[in-house]
Amino acid sequence: MKGQVNISKATVDRLPLYFRTLRLAQDEGIDIISSDELGRRLGITPEQIRKDLASFGQFGKKGVGYYVNELKRNVGKILGLDNHWNIAVVGIGHLGEALANYQNFVSLGFNLVALFDQDPKVIGKTVNHVVVEDIRNMQQVVKERNIQIGIIAVPAAFAQGVADKLVEAGVKGIWNFAPIKMEVPDSMHIINEDLSIGLSSLSYYITRK
Binding residues for NAD(+): 91-96
Q: Which residues are annotated as a binding site?
A: 91-96
User: What is d(CA 44, CA 149) in angstroms, rounded to the nearest whole number?
Assistant: 30
What is the Cα 186 distance to its own chain's centre? 19
Number of residues in the chain: 209
CA separation, residue 170 to residues 51, 139, 143 (Å): 36, 8, 7
User: What is d(CA 68, CA 66) in angstroms, rounded to the nearest whole number?
Assistant: 6
Give the residue from 80, 196, 87 showing the smallest Cα distance to 142: 87
